[in-house]
Structure 1
Amino acid sequence: MNVLLIGAGGREHALAWKIAQSPMLDRLYAAPGNPGIGECAELVPLDLLDHDAVRDFCREKSVDLVVVGPEAPLVDGLADSLNDAGICVFGPSAAAARLEGSKGFTKDLCSRHDIPTARYKRFSDVAAAKAHLDESGYPMVIKADGLAAGKGVTIAASRAEAEAAIDGCFEGDFGGPGAEIVVEEFLEGEEASLFCLCDGTRALVFGTAQDHKRAFDRDRGPNTGGMGAYSPALALNDRMVERVISEIIEPTLKGMAEIGAPFCGVLYAGLMLTETGPKLIEYNVRFGDPEAQVLMMRLESDPLPIFLAAAKGDLSGIAVEWSGDRALTVVMAADGYPGAYDKGTEISRLPENDATTQIFHAGTSRDGGRLLATGGRVLNVTARGRTVREAASRAYDAVEKVQWEKGFFRTDIGHRAIMIEDS
């Protein structure tokens, strides 16, 4: 079969790497892709906002399945446009993608269906939001309502920080200015991520992971799109996964179907495991980044028949096989990220990939024979091992072999899991 992969980041490189191994695959195209993806797929310069152009390309190349990596094209309705043209898409409709496209929409859905989550209020103007601060304790969580590339969340420890976050959201620091914000109670516990493939009514568990959002070691610094991750998440044992499915995922699928927006694709639940049980922090409607990198490293099954079954709305009879190994990824980011950073700095050397270690490109480009860093998160150095410690050792060994003077990385990815393993 012919497959078109949409996206250009580390998540998409990991997906391309795994899809390229499928015996079902004839041709893999990627739009727009990156230099790493170009080693697995034929890159095509499609404008993803031009749905007609994407549709016409799929028809010209007899594409059997489109796999959409990032959230923005899904929220923009690319899956709808392609499905309307009879082209099979792994990814939800725009109506279903509101689960990520609007945090307020998701919180309201949780309220209607008794899905455990943090207490919240929605605000569409600055004055009302700031007045609410008098009624709240600290820390509190301020979230921009729309897409914010993983950076639209502030944990405010004081009124001054909360007011600055509210001003930033309404002034457009995390996307379009002035739309809406959600103010939530701060949840305490351990964070973890559960991934499910959904066909509109069923949910198939597709792995767990824990990521590291803060920019610097010991969980300090600003929130980022993710500085590293490992899988599986030790905190999400089988019993906890069953609770998440019954208390959070299944009511969500039922609620979405009831409003005429059945969810088909990847449903990624960001969770807080509190003393009273799991609570939903937020949903994403695609694989996480960098969580996809560790999931693809552990996935033993061919992804194409699984993705195709979800896209066609029938996951019955589908099973997923996983390696017993742990996987861990370290994000190498440009100096200054998630703030301002230089683009176009040279990466002069990358180590060779091997059976246990892969370097996924997240924000790179080619200038002749030179490999350049063009994004905030630039490389995902990913490894497998029998334990998290072994996976981390292999990943950091590879990190040390990367020659790039303008990057940084956290040195403690997976540290909590390693402590648990060692205890």
Structure 2
Amino acid sequence: MSHTYLYVLLAGLCVFPHCHYTFEWQEEHGSDLPSLKIARGNTGFAFRLYHQLASETPHDNIFFSPLSISTAFAMVSLGAGTTTLSELLSGLGFNQIDTSEQEIHEGFRHLFQMLSNPNGEIYLSIGNALFTDDQVQLLDKFLDDAKTFYETEVLPTNFKNPEEAESQINTYIEKKTDGKLVNVYKKPDPEAVMVLVNYIFLKAFWEKPFDSQKTKANDFFVDEQTTVKVPMMNKVSRFETYRDDILSCQVVKLPYKGNASALFILPDQGQMEQLENALNEDVLLNWMNSLKPRKIHLLLPKFSISGSYSVKELLIKMGITDVFTNRGDLSGFTGNPDLKVSKAFHEAVLNVHEAGTEAVAATAVEAVSRSMPLIVRFNTPFLVLIFHDITKSILFMGRVANPQKK
């Protein structure tokens, strides 16, 4: 049987992190909101994906958007059937006994509505596009569901001209990520007839910005043999923090203006592997419920890291296989069983600095107590998680092993 191919492309860009993870919100407004029904599944998928990446690259930088990847393949599931559908949804972390297929897609629709809510203090954009060749006739039901649940743009594309298709898709991604991601889509498959693109773009500003004049070169200890010089940001203020003695790490939450915050986790020397192995939803819940405000002398590197991954290979290792094979059932796209996902690629970029990605001016007078602050110095490898606070979604996740390594 001959097969035509669907290419899944995921572009995640965080130009400045931010998100609060407030569990009281769920109690106040109820747990029946559609987006909250998929929150735990998305979080579990994020950690499983991180574990897979960490096991393959134990000493490198890691950065990716679990939400971008789960969104794209949840959308692919609209066209999946039989065992391919159940395997895909299960692999994404959804228990169909507790959460129906309809509730999963309703959850993503509500999630997009919450993430795209206009806010002058934070810019967060997430979207999907399906580039299709005229030789493929998509079913009306799939098109309706893709537009209804995932706000998908369907864009006609001439894949018979690979250079033209490549240029069209890259131009789209570059525009949606404000020019920060370029030439992501490379070497189209000769048999490609569709490319699904998901993008997520976050730009925010610290609630308590760092003073750039206090940023000084300092040592960052990559490992026992390697030390690099990094620009180290410096601030004394009250931040929410928690010392996890069981996992031997310090957790610090840095809020941004708007509904977002970044969680930085600094393991004790030699404890990174133990910390990473223990990461799961319950550990995260414990951290978020244990954070307390305290005066801190915080030293955090100014850095930019990126990640580029073959998601197909990662998902296969995590048990999602049918969708990439000839035996998979993606007949919900066209009505014919001749479609499979040939490639899935993800690229993400994180840029953290004193204020944000745009020039701003602000004056703030802050009164702090005279008690000696806790010194938290991020001068060894650490983890970063970036959340949307209302929907409890992990937007981005990563490991900073070497801030100087692009």
Normalising TM by the smaller chain, what interval? under 0.3
Tell me the TM-score normalized by structure 1: 0.26
Q: Point out which structure has higher relative CO (alpha carbons under 8 A, 6+ apart).
A: 2
Give the structure with higher Rg (CA): 2
Q: TM-score when scaled to structure 2?
A: 0.27
